[in-house]
Amino acid sequence: MLKYIKGHLTSIDGIEIFPIISLVIFFSFFIGMLYYLYKIDNKTVNEIKNIPLEEEEK
Amino acid sequence: MEVEKFYYDNKIVKYFLIATAFWGIIGMLVGLTAALELVWPELNAASWLSFGRIRPLHTNAVIFAFVGNGIFTGVYYSLQRLLKTRMWSDKLSWINFWGWQIAICTAVISLPMGISTSNEYAELEWIQDIVITIIWVVWGVNMFGTILTRRVKHMYVAIWFYIATFVTVAVLHLFRSFELPFSLLHSYPAFSGVQDALIQWWYGHNAVAFFLTTPYLGLMYYFVPKAANRPVFSYRLSIIHFWSLIFIYIWAGPHHLLYTALPDWAQSLGVVFSLMLIFPSWGGMLNGLLTLRGVWDKVRDDVVLKFMVVAITCYGMATFEGPMLSLKNVSWIAHYTDWIPAHVHVGALGWNGMLTFGMLYWLVPKMWGTKLFSKSLANTHFWIGTLGILLWTIPMYWAGFTQSLMWKEFAADGTLANPNFLETVTQLRPFYMMRALGGLLYVTGPCIMVYNLVKTAKQGTFVPDEAAEAAPLVNTEATPGEHWHSKIERKPLKFLLLALIAILIGGVFEIAPTILVKDNIPTIASIKPMTPLELEGQAIYIREGCNNCHSQMVRPFRDEVKRYGEYSKGGEYVYAYPHLWGSKRTGPDLFRSGKGNAMNKSEAWHYKHMLSPRTTSEGSIMPDYFWLTDKLDYSLIKARIGALRTLGVPYPEGYEAQAEADLLKQANEVLELVKADPDIENARADMEVIAIIAYLERLGSDIHNEVKTEK
């Protein structure tokens, strides 16, 4: 099994594109995240923030 | 809506809590013993007690037993409450608990016996790896079952950290444990040399990231707001913290291999990502500390908050130091010195230790429905713990600089100012004493804590099943106009997948090219596989944990080339299963200890030095390896050769049949050379020490051989 994996991986073509793909994924993910943080409303934020505190006060 | 009544499982939390305290004290005491052995080498009184074997026991015990149980304690407590439901399966909870303790117990036996893969923080053998994998999956299944049956719409940020911990540790563990077993208790790693080293530090660094950091950040996001009774400073910041941390951390591993034979592009990648890591780390630290805004006065008399503030501060210091240490010019000074253990212990004693103690001081009164037995004892613990951290780390920072400067110092005539490595060791003894004292102080803390918590528990009553009620979760469907992140926060499996992708990108894009692209490790024609006797010698080298104090990697520095000889080339390690580069030089580097190198010593010298180091090297702190006079057991040699051939080492087909004869022949040759010294009388060819001498005499010598090319 080891041989299969070790030998097989060497045959990946166009491995040079890997870094570019990863940069694009990185970049778009973080842009998406920042956009979300900008859009999210404060009511939801406060609701989630208080989850740990609300549980046993009653 | 009608509320449902249910019960939180406190009993499982109680068991994990007890295990945390128990293994914490054991792990720290083993560490203290190891620290004392570096001051008084006579304490290495038996093979199973020797430094090379108990150092991995210490690291495994504090990481996987102390912090591991700490993670489970906190997760089992907080997960139920954050999701307003009992753990999904009591049965799985208990398999998780007992399975984990059994795995730890096997390590407590196997590591002192010298059963080890040599890979730092992954020393356990393949069969133990399988047990750990099963237990880990059991925990994951139980956690996801709980998340899927929750009564709260959103997953609080702490849970994301738990999920990331689960998935990443699983990936790391599987990849690092990719090994070829050749007996019940032995295996070779799938890759050799440079590739093995890269995988090791991808694993090693991320074990710190995803076992010691992310789960504890999850605990911080739950227990700090609880203890302060205020919500976390910024929920938005916690989202940035989470995603950037897991995206970036996974790339940082190669900073452990700066200036080594690892390809330069991989080193640079490690440096860049390590530097970036300061932002999420400090974002998280500030988020923790700023949670206390407006209630700083509480920190004065709430001992739980005191522990947590020191913990978060230590996290901040360690995560500032980490990126700095990954700069090549800082690593040049720090790597292989005592600076590294100092850095690690700011994290371990400060961040993990203090946060665990804070959590336990908060949990016990809560779960037993009472007040803490003694505030002043807890305060005493806090102060001696903090003092212990300082006394441990400051002397080690000092020692690290001393060591590094002494290694690198040149006299006016261009020779090394300290040509004998030993001069740099004896200089450090006072620092090692202070470190041991710091450790002693620190471990006193949890002992006081256990007394205090037992007394606390006695004055209260424990409720194994704590009643609670909440409305069931009817609709987790999307509300119109809702954002995708809000959606995935409610969909744990999708969340898991995203987290997995985030960490796999780092792993795949960094490791795959090194393994795939052959040009990264130029082969050297004169490098040949080890002989059977040398293979047995390497096995003993691993069994005794020599790699805990000796590196096998000469870096291309003026002083190292002068001291050890030719710097190491990646191609010299193609048959090194495992790589054995080491991470610390308590003793000198051994890569050029073989024949043909300037630092080469005779067989007779090695024989005397191994059995009684102080007869050849006064002031040495190496253990007396008197048990190496035992008879060499070479019953596995055929299996070794077969396994290595499977992995790609070019032993001829059928060489197994000849291996034993070759082994005995070489042992007799080494014996003759040992006996050249008239003082040596009792040496025999079948001693273990003969094999390890053969191994050391071979290390780094092939490169000097001429290669005859056939035309």
Residue with tokens 């987290």: B499
Q: Which residues of A touch B222 (CB under 8 A)?
A: 52
Q: Which residues of A touch B81 (CB under 8 A)?
A: 52, 55-56
Same domain, B563 and B442: no
3-state secondary structure B609-629: HHHCHHHHCCCCCCCCCHHHH
Amino acid type, B328: K
Structural domain that includes position B230 = 159-286+484-521
User: Please, what are the averages of pLDDT over each run of 10 residues along chain B (711 residues)?
Assistant: 90 98 98 98 96 97 98 97 95 98 97 96 95 96 92 91 94 90 94 89 90 97 95 94 89 87 82 92 96 92 96 97 95 96 97 98 96 97 97 97 96 94 95 98 98 97 92 66 66 81 75 63 86 97 97 95 93 94 96 94 96 95 96 96 94 95 97 94 95 97 78 50
Structure tokens at B181: 């077993």
Residue B516 pLDDT: 62
Q: Which residues of A touch B646 (CB under 8 A)?
A: 2-3
* Cross-chain Cβ contact A40/B485 below 8 Å: yes
Same domain, B433 and B497: no
Q: Which residue of A has its CA nearest to B152?
A: A51
A3 lies in some domain: no
Quickly count: other Cβ atoms within 10 Å of residue B665's Cβ.
Answer: 14
Helix pair B354-367, B10-39: axis angle to 10 deg: 150
Cα separation values, B433 from B277, B307, B366, B428, B626, Å: 34, 26, 40, 9, 25
Name the residue among A9, A22, A55 with its Cβ closest to that of B505.
A22
Name the residue among A9, A44, A46 with its Cβ closest to that of B512.
A9
Structure tokens at B147: 């998340």
Name the residue among B84, B505, B648 with its Cβ closest to that of A55.
B84
Name the residue among B229, B230, B505 with its Cβ closest to that of A25.
B505
Q: Output the CA torsion sign for B588, B590, B595, B596.
A: negative
What is the enclosing helix (H) or strand (E) of B138? helix B126-148
Name the residue among B78, B191, B236 with its Cβ closest to that of A45.
B236
Structure tokens at B587: 């003793």
CB-based contact, A3 to chain B, within 8 Å: yes
CB-based contact, A10 to chain B, within 8 Å: yes
Query: What does A17-53 look like in DSSP terms, one character per residue?
Result: GHHHHHHHHHHHHHHHHHHHHHHS-HHHHHHHHTHHH
A1 lies in some domain: no
Same domain, B456 and B423: yes
Task: Give how many domains chain A has, as a whole number.
Answer: 1
Structural domain that includes position A42 = 16-51
Task: Give how many domains chain B has, as a whole number.
Answer: 4
Check: CB of residue B270 under 8 Å from CB of residue B252: yes
Q: Which of B150, B229, B485 to mutate to test the interface with A (most CBs of A within 10 A)?
A: B485
* Cross-chain Cβ contact A6/B515 below 8 Å: yes
Name the residue among A2, A36, A40 with its Cβ closest to that of B647.
A2
Give dist(CA B323, CA B249) in Å, integer: 11
Name the residue among B226, B231, B247 with its Cβ closest to that of A49.
B231
**What is this structure's pTM?**
0.93
CB-based contact, B239 to chain A, within 8 Å: yes
Counts for chain B of helices (H) and strands (E), in that order? 28, 4
Residue B709 pLDDT: 60
Structure tokens at B37: 């052995």
Chain pair A-B, CB pairs under 8 angstroms: 94
Q: Which of A55, A56, A57, A58 to mutate to test the interface with B (most CBs of B within 10 A)?
A: A55
Give dist(CA B707, CA B711) in Å, integer: 12
Check: CB of residue B590 under 8 Å from CB of residue B576: no
Give dist(CA B421, CA B9) in Å, integer: 57
Same domain, B658 and B603: yes
Q: Which residues of A touch B512 (CB under 8 A)?
A: 9, 12, 15, 18
Instruction: List residues bridging with B181 in a β-sheet.
Output: B187
Listed residues B124, B153, B182: the one ending a domain: B153
* Cross-chain Cβ contact B247/A29 below 8 Å: yes
Q: Which residues of B203-228 are buried (b: 16+ CB within 10 A; e: fewer)?
A: bbbbbbbbbbbbbbbbbbbbbbbbbb
The answer to whether the peptide bond before residue B578 is cis (omega within 30 degrees of 0) is yes
CB-based contact, A42 to chain B, within 8 Å: no
Smallest CA-to-CA distance from B322 within B267, B273, B289 is with: B273
Q: How buried is residue B663: exposed, middle or buried, by Cβ count under 10 Å (0-12/13-18/19+)?
A: buried
3-state secondary structure of B600: coil
Structure tokens at B61: 């015990």
Tabulate helix, strand, coil % of chain B (nearest 5): 65, 5, 30
Q: Which residue of B has its CA nearest to A19?
A: B509
A22 lies in some domain: yes
Tell me phi and psi for residue B649, to 5 degrees: -80, 130
Q: Which residue of A has its CA nearest to B228?
A: A53
A40 lies in some domain: yes
Instruction: List residues bridging with B410 in a β-sheet.
Output: B416
A56 lies in some domain: no
Q: Which residues of B touch A43 (CB under 8 A)?
A: none
Same domain, B454 and B497: no
Cα separation values, B92 from B145, B169, B226, B539, Å: 10, 19, 27, 38
Give dist(CA B457, CA B462) in Å, integer: 7
Q: How buried is residue B450: exposed, middle or buried, by Cβ count under 10 Å (0-12/13-18/19+)?
A: middle
Q: Which residue of B has its CA nearest to A20?
A: B509
Q: Which residue of A has its CA nearest to B501?
A: A25
Check: CB of residue B674 under 8 Å from CB of residue B604: yes
Same domain, B636 and B592: yes
Q: Which of A8, A50, A51 to mutate to test the interface with B (most CBs of B within 10 A)?
A: A51
3-state secondary structure of B470: strand
What is the enclosing helix (H) or strand (E) of B185? none
What is the enclosing helix (H) or strand (E) of B182? strand B179-183
Residue A55 pLDDT: 65
Q: Which residues of A touch B78 (CB under 8 A)?
A: 52
Same domain, B272 and B304: no
> How do the pLDDT tens digits run along chain A, 58 residues long?
444 444 444 555 665 676 677 778 888 888 988 888 888 888 888 988 998 998 654 4
B11 lies in some domain: yes
Same domain, B454 and B323: yes
Amino acid type, B402: T
Please identify among residues 11-40 of chain A the ones whose CB lies closer than 8 Å to any CB of chain B. Answer: 12, 15, 18-19, 22, 25-26, 29-30, 32-34, 36-37, 39-40
Tell me phi and psi for residue B497, to 5 degrees: -65, -45
CATH of the domain at B369: 1.20.210.10
Check: CB of residue A29 under 8 Å from CB of residue B247: yes
Q: Which of B195, B239, B362, B482 to mutate to test the interface with A (most CBs of A within 10 A)?
A: B239
A25 lies in some domain: yes
Please identify among residues 437-476 of chain B the ones whose CB lies closer than 8 Å to any CB of chain A. Answer: 468
Name the residue among B221, B229, B483 with its Cβ closest to that of A40.
B483
Structure tokens at A28: 């778009």
Give dist(CA B214, CA B83) in Å, integer: 19
**Closest CA–CA distance from residue A18 to any residue of chain B (Å):** 6
CB-based contact, B229 to chain A, within 8 Å: yes
Tell me phi and psi for residue B300, to 5 degrees: -65, -40
Q: Which residues of B558-590 are buried (b: 16+ CB within 10 A; e: fewer)?
A: ebbeebbbbbbbbbbbbbbbbbbbbbbbbbbbb
Check: CB of residue B164 under 8 Å from CB of residue B499: yes
A11 lies in some domain: no
CB-based contact, B225 to chain A, within 8 Å: yes
Q: Which residues of B touch A56 (CB under 8 A)?
A: 81, 468
B546 lies in some domain: yes
Residue B1 pLDDT: 66
* Cross-chain Cβ contact A53/B231 below 8 Å: yes
Q: What is the CA radius of gyration of chain B?
A: 26
3-state secondary structure of B8: strand
Return contacts of B516-519, CB within 8 angstroms, 24+ apart.
B516/A9, B516/A10, B516/A12, B516/A15, B517/A15, B518/A10
Same domain, B302 and B271: no
Same domain, B9 and B139: yes
B709 lies in some domain: no
Residues in Cβ contact with A21 at an 8 Å cutoff, skipping those fewer than 6 apart: none
Smallest CA-to-CA distance from B402 within B426, B435, B438, B420 is with: B426
Same domain, B91 and B200: no
Residues in Cβ contact with B129 at an 8 Å cutoff, skipping those fewer than 6 apart: B122, B173, B177, B179
A7 lies in some domain: no
CB-based contact, A1 to chain B, within 8 Å: no
Structure tokens at B72: 């489970």
CB-based contact, A56 to chain B, within 8 Å: yes
Check: CB of residue B96 under 8 Å from CB of residue B166: no
Same domain, B241 and B112: no
B710 lies in some domain: no
